[in-house]
A and B are shown apart, each in its own frame.
Chain A
């Protein structure tokens, strides 16, 4: 078994740990760091429940070895709030009820964060394509997509306040 010391910036804090080379990043986050907001859905890089940001880009943490993230900066849903206040996206999903069971929500929010960062004013089609790698098994897409633009506008306003 090959072991490696990894050094990863997780939500602004550097974590140094020894891991097996085969440990997947999602398992590292959930089991080693006890941060269970990042979910495991399909386990086959289809559903996006495990979506995190790595160096600012959304990636599926079930399809990355922890060693690949060494030296990189990772953000999970736990890192979205600031000083005890929810991130505008979290607040938006809450206020607009952009969820049913909520299982896909952390992944949706992490994906939405990159989408918003790159395209501050997406059309509905761009939103739908943008979250096409994140599945809502409640099929609650209308509630996720329909208020999206409104959410984004709100977020933008708040981000700039």
Chain B
């Protein structure tokens, strides 16, 4: 499987990369870690005439917490998330997610920015970022803008980035005290996409009621999905088993999976129902443990 010919470009700065995007338009693709794009090129599903490798641009690989936000540089690899002390301590949802992406060697190359900018609803970070109410920073010819994650995935394999913009940073609000999160994914084998997965992030008050909750669903629709009806149900509540079951049903009703090699639509809907309940329970446990 030899990929088609292309022109390789390796700019040293973001403005240079943006200029190349402007020059080559839809013939160009950004190459980050390449672990979605290169396989797609080898299968000739993607045939860009120009690859703009942004790995030589300094300053896009960092995990920093400042002014109430976790800032992740777009070129940060998944392995760096796993190894990050801040992520391990404060962002169990992010840690769960990174550990479930592909396999250890792939995680040494695959980047957080690439996982989002690829726009694939089967990727794991989109649902996680929905649950975390993150935003992304895009840099283009007119400077930078911040895009809320809810506005970032308008359609199948489509993002809110315009043709001449590059995703440079992910911003996640620092969770308040007594927060917890979890990412539960059913995959057929290591390295596969999710049959279904659920991301949950929440915080609880002093009597154990849920103050805020975010729920994201992976690979059960043409875009990553926010399970908003389940979020609304749980906000301000201390859920018992019946309410958790109702939240599972609501999340399942928000999903729109299609039958494929990973299972029937019915099976995936059942997975969303069950995984939602388990992810909420685990998140509550973790929130209690973090007090």
**Chain A residues in contact with chain B, CB under 8 A?**
1-2, 4, 20-22, 24, 43-46, 48, 51, 57-60, 63-65, 67-68, 111, 114-115, 129-134
Question: Which residue from chain A places its CB closest to the CB of B192 in the assembled complex?
Answer: A46
Which of chain B's residues have a CB closer than 8 A to the CB of A59? Answer: 105, 108-109
B126 to chain A, nearest CB (A): 21
Which of chain B's residues have a CB closer than 8 A to the CB of A64? Answer: 34, 38, 109
Do B8 and A4 touch across chains, with their CB atoms under 8 A apart? yes
* Cβ 8 A contact of A48, one of B7, B34, B38, B103: B103
Given A20-B5, A21-B8, is A58 in contact with B104 using a C-beta cutoff of 8 Å?
Answer: yes
* Cβ 8 A contact of A63, one of B5, B10, B39, B190: B39
Asked if B131 is at the interface (CB within 8 A of a chain A CB), the reply is: no
Question: Which residue from chain A places its CB closest to the CB of B49 in the assembled complex?
Answer: A2
* Cβ 8 A contact of A133, one of B5, B6, B8, B191: B191
Do B104 and A132 touch across chains, with their CB atoms under 8 A apart? yes
Can you sample 25 A-B contacts with CB below 8 Å?
A2-B6, A2-B7, A21-B6, A21-B7, A21-B8, A21-B51, A24-B2, A24-B3, A45-B38, A45-B106, A46-B191, A58-B105, A59-B105, A59-B109, A63-B35, A63-B106, A63-B109, A64-B38, A64-B109, A67-B10, A68-B31, A68-B53, A68-B55, A133-B102, A133-B191
Given A63-B38, A65-B34, A68-B53, is A48 in contact with B5 using a C-beta cutoff of 8 Å?
Answer: no
Asked if B261 is at the interface (CB within 8 A of a chain A CB), the reply is: no
B88 to chain A, nearest CB (A): 14
Do B34 and A68 touch across chains, with their CB atoms under 8 A apart? yes
In the docked arrangement, what's the CA distance between A118 and B214, Å?
A: 34
Do B5 and A60 touch across chains, with their CB atoms under 8 A apart? no
Do B79 and A57 touch across chains, with their CB atoms under 8 A apart? yes
* Cβ 8 A contact of A51, one of B2, B6, B31, B105: B105
Do B104 and A129 touch across chains, with their CB atoms under 8 A apart? yes
In the docked arrangement, what's the CA distance between A60 and B77, Å?
A: 14
Do A2 and B8 touch across chains, with their CB atoms under 8 A apart? yes
**Chain B residues in contact with chain A, CB under 8 A?**
1-8, 10, 31, 34-35, 38-39, 42, 51, 53, 55, 79, 102-106, 108-109, 190-191
Do B8 and A58 touch across chains, with their CB atoms under 8 A apart? no
Do A132 and B6 touch across chains, with their CB atoms under 8 A apart? no
Decide if the interface of chain B is mainly helix, strand, loop or mixed. loop
A46 to chain B, nearest CB (A): 6
In the docked arrangement, what's the CA distance between A133 and B107, Å?
A: 10
Which of chain A's residues have a CB closer than 8 A to the CB of B108? Answer: 57-59
Which of chain A's residues have a CB closer than 8 A to the CB of B31? Answer: 68
In the docked arrangement, what's the CA distance between A4 and B7, Å?
A: 10
In the docked arrangement, what's the CA distance between A101 and B6, Å?
A: 37
Max chain A C-beta neighbours (<10 A), residue from B3, B79, B106:
B106
* Cβ 8 A contact of B35, one of A20, A45, A48, A114: A45
Which of chain B's residues have a CB closer than 8 A to the CB of A58? Answer: 104-105, 108
Do B53 and A67 touch across chains, with their CB atoms under 8 A apart? yes
Which of chain A's residues have a CB closer than 8 A to the CB of B3? Answer: 22, 24
Known pairs A1-B5, A4-B8. 8 more at Cβ < 8 A?
Answer: A2-B5, A2-B6, A22-B5, A22-B6, A45-B102, A63-B39, A63-B109, A134-B105
Which of chain A's residues have a CB closer than 8 A to the CB of B103? Answer: 48, 132-134
Which of chain A's residues have a CB closer than 8 A to the CB of B7? Answer: 2, 21
Question: Which residue from chain A places its CB closest to the CB of B191 in the assembled complex?
Answer: A46
Which of chain B's residues have a CB closer than 8 A to the CB of A63? Answer: 34-35, 38-39, 106, 109
In the docked arrangement, what's the CA distance between A21 and B190, Å?
A: 30
Do B8 and A45 touch across chains, with their CB atoms under 8 A apart? no
Do A130 and B6 touch across chains, with their CB atoms under 8 A apart? no
* Cβ 8 A contact of A65, one of B1, B38, B39, B104: B38
A127 to chain B, nearest CB (A): 11
Given A2-B8, A67-B53, is A133 in contact with B106 using a C-beta cutoff of 8 Å?
Answer: yes
Question: Which residue from chain B places its CB closest to the CB of A20 in the assembled complex?
Answer: B5
Which of chain A's residues have a CB closer than 8 A to the CB of B39? Answer: 44-45, 63
In the docked arrangement, what's the CA distance between A57 and B103, Å?
A: 13
